[in-house]
Amino acid sequence: CIVLVNFILLAFRSSAQQLPRSVAIGSNPPGTVFYALASGLAKVASDGAPFQMAVQPYSGTSTFLPLLDGGEIDFGINNAVDMALSYQGPERLKIGGRNPFQHTPNVRLVMRGAILMTAFLVRKDAPIKTIHDIRGKRVTGEYPAQLANWYNVFGFLAGAGMKFDDVKIIPVPGANEGVDALIQGRADVALHAVDSAKVKEADAAIGVRHISLDCSPQGEKRLRAAVPGYYPLWLKRSQAAGIAEDTCVNAYDIYLTTHKAVNERAVAIILKNIWDNTDKLLPVHPSFKDWTHQRAVDPDVTMPYHPVAVQFFKERGAWPAAMDDIQRKLLALNP
């Protein structure tokens, strides 16, 4: 009865809301995996909907999080680690002794999606074979426009038993600029998402390849301890651009996010369109192979789901009973 009453109240609130003519989804710049994912989701979400979802690229996902929290943009493509840091805020959570994110208590999760894979990148003819060979090398870092990338570098180094002092950091604002530094010879090692358009561009320009993290049992333990949410993943030779041989990369989850005051009818329409058309996503980008019904709900999520999403997944039998307690605990972090 309680579930039925909640559903009726939710439907009443939704019916009273006028649908917008368009909604915006924030992403990283063109050339990144996040931009490709946002574009694919926007196309599928808009198909047959009474509004259009438009991609709004920013210099990095870190830069639009305050806008998402305040409702100035409607949706976003973000990663699980960023959302843990921003949702809990710097007073409650730090990784590597820092949390430069602005507190975003109003953000909500629509759907857990694909796996984001990241790895270090070097010139194809470089003598660097694994992460242990980068000691003393010029490595792109800082990433003020994409704060998540600092944690990538921190985690990669920690997994290999190294610190920032063991390499020479070349400051860049974002991942694309880091690859540009590699192309231009200003850096020996850059960082980027696996199979991104930018990596393919660099490969065409100078020839590049990803190098393996330390994925020994000890290395994996150090990586997971350094950045909760990270885990190693082995890719086969030629499985993606820049994977010249079997390579161990970093993996973590990608989220479709929103804010708690978003138009509820829009959330319901977008979620249904994506849920019903996951087969149309795969041709857009290889990462969409992991944007599945099975991955949509997970007990390890780092932020609470939007109530429309909770109801949607319950109706489809995709919301295990144990998720109610997890949802309550996450909401309690920002009462």
For residue range 290-312, what is the model confidence (pLDDT) as tens digits?
A: 999 999 999 999 999 999 999 99
* Out of 41-50, 64-73, 141-150, 235-244, least confident range: 141-150
Higher pLDDT, 283 or 2: 283
pLDDT at 152 over 80: yes
Collapsing DSSP states into helix, strand and coil, what is residue 51?
A: coil
Q: Tokens standing for 8?
A: 């009726």
pLDDT digits (tens, 9 = 90+) for 189-206: 999 999 999 999 999 999
Contact between residue 313 and residue 296 where contact means Cβ atoms under 8 Å apart:
yes
Query: What pLDDT is recorded for position 259?
Result: 98
What the block records as the tokens of 270 is 């977008």
Whether pLDDT at 8 is above 90: no
Under 8 Å between Cβ of 250 and 230: yes
Separation CA 155–CA 317 (nearest Å) = 36
Q: What pLDDT is attached to residue 273?
A: 97
Residues of 250-262 as b/e, b for ≥16 C-beta within 10 angstroms? bbbbbbbbbbeeb
Record the tokens describing residue 249, joined without a space.
Answer: 């990369």
Q: Indicate the residue type of 232.
A: P
pLDDT of residue 10 exceeding 70, the answer is no
Between CA 220 and CA 215 the distance in angstroms is: 5
| pTM for this entry | 0.83
In this structure, the dihedral spanned by the alpha carbons of residues 199, 129, 134 and 163, taken in order and rounded to 10 degrees, is 90
The answer, yes or no, to whether residue 15 has pLDDT greater than 50, is no
| pLDDT score for 17 | 67
Return the percentage of the chain with pLDDT > 70, whole number: 95
Task: Check: CB of residue 245 under 8 Å from CB of residue 238.
Answer: no
Does residue 29 carry a pLDDT above 60? yes
